[in-house]
Structure 1
Amino acid sequence: MLNLTYLALLEPGEDGCYGISFPDLPGCFSFADNLAEAEQMAAEAAELHIYGMERDGEAIPEPSTSLSKDITKDMLVMPVTVHPDLYRMKRDNERVKTNITLPAWLKRMAEEKKVNYSRLLESALLEYLQLPTANK
């Protein structure tokens, strides 16, 4: 399993809130209402950002081990460890809602037989795509 530790910059705002950014992950930003929430929000943002980069075929940047004083001025620096492999497995195995269109007579017959559409469609797709059922 791959674990990556990125340095997050926390910019203090009014009322104890924080803006969160990652110099190594351009475009990755988050927000937290307080310092306790900042760690969780930073990890979620980084994992989602890396997941998106992987899906887009982009290279994942190596984490920096230190940041210059110019970048960190007036900021808090927090190491954030992410687990891209675990996050990918979680996201790729989430159930998603899918709408289908059927003839009315077929839907009535299926309802009479109490067909579980999700289970039936999943099984049919696995068979059609010639995938082993263990990949569910």
Structure 2
Amino acid sequence: MNYIYPAVFYPEDDGRYSVIFPDLNDLATYGDNLADAFAMAQEACGQYLFTSLRDGDVLPAPSALDTVKKDDENAIVNMVCVNLDEYARAYDDKAVKKTLSIPAWLNTACENLGINYSKVLKDALIAKLQIHS
């Protein structure tokens, strides 16, 4: 499902843009340029909406674009669209079953020590991702 909220993009002196969502408790983010700021705005909005819905919060109605106030005449007011179905598929933390194969001797040793395969694999994959970031 698509959700659309207005955001105010404020140009900064260094070429970056700050972004504020007035309808979402002044949710804020920024980007290195306008394109990056727009991508970061979608990400921040998606995270906010996804978390709010997961927690059972009621989402506010989006303001009409022409009613959004900006503090700077150079600011840009634009709607930001987030597809929460796509966001949930990418970021939901529900478990996904995977099958793996290990040598029998390793399986026996791990079982004897009560090692949790899911935890070890998850921790190793997170560590691997951090190395490549």
Partner of residue 3, structure 1: 2
- The number of residues matched between the two structures is 107
Q: CA deviation at 1:63?
A: 1.9
Q: Map residues 1-136 of structure 1 onto 2, 5 A cutoff.
A: 2-68=1-67, 71-74=69-72, 75-93=75-93, 109-110=109-110, 117-118=117-118
Measured on the aligned residues, the alpha-carbon RMSD in Å equals 3.3
Question: Which blocks of at least 5 consecutive residues in structure 1 are unaligned?
Answer: 97-105, 122-136
- TM score, norm. by length of structure 1: 0.64
Q: Deviations over 1:80-102 (max 9, x none)?
A: 11011221232225779xxxxxx
Question: Which blocks of at least 5 consecutive residues in structure 2 are unaligned?
Answer: 97-105, 122-133
- TM score, norm. by length of structure 2: 0.65
Task: Assess if the C-alpha contact under 8 Å between 2:65 and 2:78 holds in 1.
Answer: no
| CA distance 1:59–1:14, shift in 2 (3 Å) | same
Task: Assess if the C-alpha contact under 8 Å between 2:23 and 2:60 holds in 1.
Answer: yes
User: What amino acid maps onto 2:82 in structure 1?
Assistant: V
